[in-house]
Structure 1
């Protein structure tokens, strides 16, 4: 009896094994199902049809798209593996030529997390419907020949972390609604035609690590409480029309590494922070402003913890450039055209070990024959610095690849490997 039951169990077990093996083989040999949803493929195909073939069709990723294939396998497309929704659309540099319509199939891709259409010719305005892509986290539209005002609907993209709109022709002000983008880490709208002020609403974006608004037409003064951007690492507002004070709160942001304020109209008191802890600042660019009032640097000493002001008064020739010694991490320093009659002593920079770019042009500079700079300077600008002899310290600058000593009064003849010998 027991042997009979045992035989039945063995037979049933063998049958089960055979069935499972057959099922696996059948499933493994069947063609894979398309991941892409029909509505998503239709939207992509509609978007493709909005851009006629150009003479550079070979560069267009959309030319590899086939309507009878899985759209999740198309170039530039990434889908959510669970839902089949298009999550990423990356057609950077794909030679798209035509404007974005309000009725574009693009705006039917409601589940996009990342959109990159940079380096295409999308000449036209950016439609308000961009704000309907509410799941966007990354929006990159740099170098697209877009123009007109930035739509306020950008403020609807509450999950956005990267907004990259460099190299377009946007006009008008930055929308106040950008202050709603509480997750934003990068705001990049350089090389455009923006005007208006630096909105206080931007100070609500406390997750920002990078702001680049260089080469626009922004004006007015900066807010006094810039330190609310406590995670900021990169801040570039060069080549604008900002004026007034440079707020000391900028220098009090502990994470700040690159600060570029050159070629503006800053024309009053400059207060360089409170150095209660070592500064991380590597880039400081102040050149081409009108800093003509008293300049203060507040230093909190480690013993007394008392702030003491050091005054630069460019009107009284009392600029103390040694205050930069407190910025130990500097690799890039531009203090050209400071509108001062004070003399910059090059010996100051013998204390820096990491400087790779130094610009002192259009200031009066002096240096001794024994000067030695230990930092590996690659670019040095000393144009219009009232120099009358060739700087001998350059002989030891083995990393130097760019040198500007134009518009000086240097005399003598060149001697190979030695510099200049005087007649």
Structure 2
């Protein structure tokens, strides 16, 4: 949401409030001269924000200041006790001398949704001894509620000790610094809500142990310390006032302390994503009668049910997350009849969902995640309120189960489903994402799927579907990702896809499509990935007649088809996203998916096909290999500087390699093999420091192989089949690389003569080294070697050096790839 621009000098404006304070026992309400107001306020009434009228429009001399909008005074004393300036386009700096801080009786202050960007929060805020509510959210402060305010700077510890402070929310401000108080928490006797989620107060995030004194605050009801680096064990928890405790995404360890059972009034308890260990029986929570939300996912615990008859989780339970907790059965949930969200993924559930669960949760369950278990069958039809269903990676067999019409997100990939897709799935008119990947589904793709206007993701790759692609995509379609890779589809790419203006990913590779290149797909303004590899596409790719096509394309894979004539120079001229390096490029996003679905695409690199998941937006790929392209490599390809993978191998390309390809500074894999290329390898290639895979084999290249940088790491197979190439790592020497013409140089010497001459030269050098210093002597030996007398030894030394360097480079490359994968994941 963009803010309008106001010239509102906050420092001068807040000086108005000095007149709210009066030192007499019965203060008189201030009167402000109209010229003073005009001097301090500059308001542009043409700019409107947040659908609120301007508070400042009522701030004039004709009425009492305590009647001004946003100002509330105490009726007995006349002191200003509340000030609401939210969403009022305030711009400027609140420094320590601002008269705002003279409002010593202020109880509520709201400066939210303004623009104080690049300014620190003053420590003077800590002097509001009567303050009970402070809201600076979405105020763009550089550094109290301050949720997601992009605050930075030092938080004064006195903030934590304000005696009347009831709510402190500093969540998701990653640039804060300061110290987390470990004592004097008792002075915060009024504190009710404390939210320090994802706050960088000590180090990168809050760390160390959680002070037990926090759990002793008498009025504290809400404690949120998730997404930090707290470690160690939880100490005694004595509070019975806490209603909500969120300690998820930390590094807490040890067994769950029995003192958790003292939280008899807690309704929300989240300990997910920590390092807790040991067995946790369901009876552990027997005293938490009001529990409505419980999260224990992704620890190292085993959730057991030893006392099946005596206790189950309470009926009040609404939200349960027990992912990766070694859960084996559902009996402990028999009494939980109000469940809305259930996550039991990555467990050991087998068989099928019990009948009592179907009846208990028929009308309540909204989200169900049973992925990565061993379920063999499910019945989804009884659930009337399900919106999100995740059954990926189970052992489900038989036909595709049809979810209720309320379903919006349906993930059931990587199972053993077979048969045709039932037509009743088209009744899911609210469907947003459908993922049927890696099953054994057969038959045609239902044409009616193209009529679901809400559908954003349709993923059916790696099945056995036949027939044609849907031709019924309507104008205004929401489709963003269509992946039908690895089926048996025939026909053409349907032109109805031109109606899908939101489409970002189209992968129909490894099918039997028979068509020419669908240049009209270039009219899709958001298309980032186009893969039509391994089909029966043919003909030439002609110069496009439309301007500004494929403006955002970053992955183009047309490999293993039958395209002919020259490489598409006219197409390369239009690929804007490949011609500029954009570090801010974002991945395709799917709102409402809760992170469930991530695009993937099959890419051939290093000779192997691999799926790139989640990070596909980081890669820029052109793969035109295994076609029938002829002519020369156009020099314009060197302008595609954002490319990471370039593969034009196994074609009929002729002529020289253009030196412009040396400008591809980000290229990691370059494959020009199996063509008819001639001439030398451009010396500019030596500057490709990101290059990891390099293949020029089976061409007609000649001359010296460039040396230096990454070229030290490539082996013989990168150059084989080019009889005219010389230089390392090949056996034919080149120029001054100390391997030149080795056989000719030593051909006049037999082994015995060579050894004798070597010994003479060695001792000459050794004696000189004894008299003049070992370094000089060895240098002379090296000189004699390099002048040609001992070329066979020179070759051994150089090759040994090359192997050492190559091993070192490989190690560095592995380390770099390891770091890169970790960062991308």
State TM-score, norm by structure 2.
0.39
Q: Is the 8 A contact 2:263 2:288 kept in 1?
A: no
Aligned residues: 369
Structure 1 Cα separation of the partners of residues 234 and 39 of structure 2: 46
Secondary structure of the residue that 1:358 maps to in structure 2?
Answer: strand
Residue 331 (1) aligns with residue 331 (2): no
Greater Cα shift, 63-72 or 126-135: 63-72
How far the C-alpha of 1:219 sits from its partner, in A, is: 1.9
Q: Is the 8 A contact 1:140 1:163 kept in 2?
A: no
Picking from 115, 121, 130, the partner of 1:126 is: 121
Q: For residues 204-225 of structure 1, give each alpha carbon's deviation from its aligned partner in whole angstroms, at most 9, with x where no partner exists.
A: 22322222334x3232145243
Residue 382 (1) aligns with residue 382 (2): no
2:188 match: 181
Picking from 213, 216, 221, the partner of 1:209 is: 221
How far the C-alpha of 1:116 sits from its partner, in A, is: 2.3
Q: For residues 260-296 of structure 1, give each alpha carbon's deviation from its aligned partner in whole angstroms, at most 9, with x where no partner exists.
A: 3334444555455545467332223333x232x4445
Structure 1 Cα separation of the partners of residues 55 and 215 of structure 2: 40
2:77 match: 83
Q: For residues 141-167 of structure 1, give each alpha carbon's deviation from its aligned partner in whole angstroms, at most 9, with x where no partner exists.
A: 333322234321123321222223334
Q: For residues 286-345 of structure 1, give each alpha carbon's deviation from its aligned partner in whole angstroms, at most 9, with x where no partner exists.
A: 33x232x44456869769xxxxxxxx9x89x774543344555543233434xx556485
How far the C-alpha of 1:373 sits from its partner, in A, is: 5.0
How far the C-alpha of 1:372 sits from its partner, in A, is: 6.4
Structure 1 Cα separation of the partners of residues 107 and 306 of structure 2: 45
How far the C-alpha of 1:401 sits from its partner, in A, is: 3.2
Secondary structure of the residue that 2:21 maps to in structure 1?
Answer: helix
How far the C-alpha of 1:367 sits from its partner, in A, is: 5.0
Structure 1 Cα separation of the partners of residues 343 and 388 of structure 2: 11
How far the C-alpha of 1:202 sits from its partner, in A, is: 1.0
Residue 413 (1) aligns with residue 425 (2): no
How far the C-alpha of 1:186 sits from its partner, in A, is: 1.5
Q: For residues 184-205 of structure 1, give each alpha carbon's deviation from its aligned partner in whole angstroms, at most 9, with x where no partner exists.
A: 2212233443411432221122
In structure 2, relative to structure 1, the CA distance for the partners of 1:79 and 1:49 (3 Å cut) is farther
2:212 match: 200
Q: Is the 8 A contact 2:130 2:164 kept in 1?
A: yes
Q: For residues 23-46 of structure 1, give each alpha carbon's deviation from its aligned partner in whole angstroms, at most 9, with x where no partner exists.
A: xxxxxxxxxxxxx9642788x999
Picking from 325, 331, 351, the partner of 1:322 is: 331
In structure 2, relative to structure 1, the CA distance for the partners of 1:230 and 1:129 (3 Å cut) is same
Q: For residues 215-254 of structure 1, give each alpha carbon's deviation from its aligned partner in whole angstroms, at most 9, with x where no partner exists.
A: x32321452433x332333333334444444445446533
Q: Is the 8 A contact 1:248 1:270 kept in 2?
A: no
In structure 2, relative to structure 1, the CA distance for the partners of 1:145 and 1:96 (3 Å cut) is farther
State TM-score, norm by structure 1.
0.70
Structure 2 alignment gaps of length 5 or more: 1-17, 23-28, 139-148, 312-321, 427-435, 443-825
Residue 159 (1) aligns with residue 164 (2): yes
1:235-246 aligned at under 5 Å gives the runs: 235-246=245-256
State the structure with more CA Rg: 2
Structure 1 Cα separation of the partners of residues 74 and 191 of structure 2: 23
Picking from 117, 134, 142, the partner of 1:139 is: 134
1:39 match: 21
Q: For residues 335-365 of structure 1, give each alpha carbon's deviation from its aligned partner in whole angstroms, at most 9, with x where no partner exists.
A: 434xx5564853274364333323333x314
Secondary structure of the residue that 1:106 maps to in structure 2?
Answer: helix
What is the RMSD of the two structures over their aligned residues, measured on CA atoms? Answer: 4.3
